[in-house]
């Protein structure tokens, strides 16, 4: 299997007000050719900084990397010619049409005018931009603009496409449309590396996911394998803080079906096998231990549970902060 991306100890430190911020902290990573690889983490996790190093826009503080077979440090120009990059804000000139943007970009990459026009027409059709391709970009909806952004990143037929938060702010229908386009690109042989802070995007769209927090990868696997690590079910026992203080986690961890007990501010989370059959038992146990329950819930694992288990905090909560 060949590698689209291979990095070792990739690190970026920023200095602001004489304080060091380790935005990316010693990443080791391999992305395979032909996969949709997701970089999932909350705001500030270091996703954009990583992507900017992988696309040669930012020089690493330490570490090495190969992207589409070329060395990031010594062959940056070769890397740049073979990758596409769609930043969070996109690269479209707003006071021009999508068609004009695409043609200009193709000309920059050295296509003749006729080739550039053909390339633009092909992308306009593939990304379903036909209805608005000859209007100014500033008149587009969020979803239309995003599809045009992605088309722009593909003008020079890159083998590897980087997408930074491709569906932020889009309505569900536009998101689904963008996902469809990303899957189509993979079918055509393009490798995709995308960042996201959306759990469902990582879960549904990506072949493999690296979960990142504070500049490090805390878990990496297929979404289903990541969720399987958690065990079968999660039971959350909501309690007032007074009960939490009283609660001895050994009460729960002594049960055969309980794999792990995590105390939080207003709840105790249990990672368990066979959640349904355990619930009645837990209720009796809480009663006997004099613990007041405010709520009780059972759910099957999500990628947020993986994140929570590895980091002690939740992506959903971070996203809403
Ligand atoms: N140019 C910069 N100067 C100083 N700090 C930065 C700079 N760019 C990013 N950071 C910091 O690095 C961390 C990671 O940022 P970023 O890579 O943008 O995260 P993400 O894309 O996951 O939201 C954050 O703490 C951010 O404030
Ligand atoms: Mg970012």
Q: Which of 223, 256, 285 corresponds to the end of one domain? A: 223
Say if ligand 1 is within 6 A of residue 23 CB. Answer: yes
Q: State in Å: Cα 214 to ligand 1 middle.
A: 10
pTM of the model: 0.87
State which of 21, 22, 25 you would mutate to test the pocket of ligand 1, scoring each by most atoms of that ligand within 8 A of its C-beta: 21
**Alpha-carbon span 15 to 19, nearest angstrom:** 5
- Decide whether any atom of ligand 1 lies within 6 Å of the 298 Cβ: no
Is the shortest distance between the CB of 43 and ligand 1 below 6 Å? yes
Q: Is there a single domain that holds both residue 201 and residue 262? A: no
Q: CA 204 to CA 98: how far, in whole Å?
A: 29
- CB 231, CB 273: distance < 8 Å: yes
**Which CATH number does the domain housing residue 239 bear?**
3.30.70.980
Report how far residue 110's alpha carbon sits from residue 249's, in angstroms, rounded to the nearest whole number: 65
**In this structure, are 119 and 168 located in the same domain?**
yes
> Where in the sequence is the domain holding 253, given as residue range(s)?
231-300
* pLDDT for the residue numbered 229: 84
Which residues, other chains included, contact 63 with Cβ-Cβ below 8 Å and sequence gap of 6+? 7, 8, 9, 10, 11, 26, 27
Identify any residues that bridge with 209 across adjacent strands, giving them in sequence order.
38, 221
Burial class (CB in 10 A: 0-12, 13-18, 19+), 300: exposed
Predicted local distance difference test score (pLDDT) of residue 1: 58
Question: Do 113 and 155 share a domain, yes or no?
Answer: yes
**How far is ligand 2, taken at its centre, from the CA of residue 88, in Å?**
7
- Ligand 1 contact, 48 CB (< 6 A): yes
Residues 167 and 114 in one domain: yes
Whether 79 and 113 have beta carbons less than 8 Å apart is answered as no
Contact 190, 161 (CB under 8 A): yes
88 in contact with ligand 1, CB cutoff 6 A:
no
Is 305 among the domain residues? no
Q: Using most ligand atoms within 8 A of CB, pick from 42, 46, 319 the residue to mutate for ligand 1.
A: 46
Rg of the chain over CA atoms, in angstroms?
23
Token match 């596409």: residue?
84
Judge if the beta carbon of residue 231 lies within 6 A of ligand 1.
no
Q: Digits of tens for pLDDT over the chain (321 positions)? A: 589 999 999 999 999 888 999 999 999 999 999 999 999 999 999 999 999 999 999 999 999 999 999 999 999 999 999 999 999 999 999 999 999 999 999 999 999 999 999 999 999 999 999 999 999 999 999 999 999 999 999 999 999 999 999 999 899 999 999 999 999 999 999 999 999 999 999 999 999 999 999 999 999 999 999 998 887 788 999 999 988 888 888 888 888 889 889 888 889 999 898 888 888 889 999 999 888 999 999 988 899 989 988 998 888 887 777
Same domain, 69 and 139: yes
Judged by its nearest atom, the ligand closest to the C-alpha of residue 41 is 1
On whether both 242 and 121 belong to a single domain, the answer is no
- Asked if 29 contacts 217 with a C-beta cutoff of 8 angstroms, the reply is yes
- The Cα 237–Cα 220 span in angstroms is 29
Atom of ligand 1 nearest to the CA of 43: 23
Q: How far is CA 305 from CA 223, 266, 279, 287, in A?
A: 12, 17, 19, 27
Q: Is 58 in the pocket of ligand 1 (CB under 6 A)?
A: no
16 lines ligand 1 (CB under 6 A): yes
Q: Is residue 313 part of a domain?
A: no
Count the domains in the chain. 2
Considering the domain architecture, whether residues 30 and 76 belong to the same structural domain is answered as yes
């Amino acid at each position: 299997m060949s590698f689209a991306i291979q990095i070792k100890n990739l690190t970026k430190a920023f200095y602001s007000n004489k304080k060091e911020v380790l935005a990316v902290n010693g990443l080791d990573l391999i992305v395979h050719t032909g996969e949709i690889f997701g970089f999932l983490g909350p705001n500030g996790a270091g996703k954009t900084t990583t992507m900017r190093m992988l696309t040669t826009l930012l020089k690493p503080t330490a570490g090495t990397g190969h992207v589409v077979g070329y060395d990031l440090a010594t062959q940056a120009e070769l890397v740049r010619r073979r990758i596409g990059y769609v930043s969070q804000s996109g690269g479209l000139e707003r006071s021009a049409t999508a068609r004009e943007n695409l043609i200009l970009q193709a000309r920059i990459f050295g296509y003749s005018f006729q080739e550039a026009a053909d390339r633009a027409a092909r992308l306009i059709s593939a990304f379903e931009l036909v209805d608005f391709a000859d209007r100014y970009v500033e008149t587009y909806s969020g979803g239309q603009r995003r599809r045009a952004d992605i088309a722009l990143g593909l003008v020079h037929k890159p083998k590897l496409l980087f997408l930074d938060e491709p569906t932020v702010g889009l309505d569900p229908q536009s998101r689904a449309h963008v996902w469809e386009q990303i899957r189509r690109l993979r079918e055509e042989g393009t490798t995709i590396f995308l960042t996201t802070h959306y759990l469902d995007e990582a879960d549904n769209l990506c072949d493999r996911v690296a979960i990142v927090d504070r500049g490090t990868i805390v878990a990496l696997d297929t979404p289903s394998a990541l969720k399987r690590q958690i065990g079968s079910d999660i039971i959350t026992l909501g309690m007032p803080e007074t009960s939490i203080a009283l609660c001895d986690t050994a009460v729960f961890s002594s049960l055969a079906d309980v794999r792990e007990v995590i105390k939080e501010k207003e709840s105790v989370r249990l990672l368990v096998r066979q959640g349904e059959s355990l619930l009645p038992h837990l209720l009796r146990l809480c009663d006997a231990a004099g613990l007041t329950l405010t709520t009780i819930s059972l759910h099957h694992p999500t990628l947020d549970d993986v994140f929570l288990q590895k980091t002690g905090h939740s992506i959903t909560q971070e996203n809403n902060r």
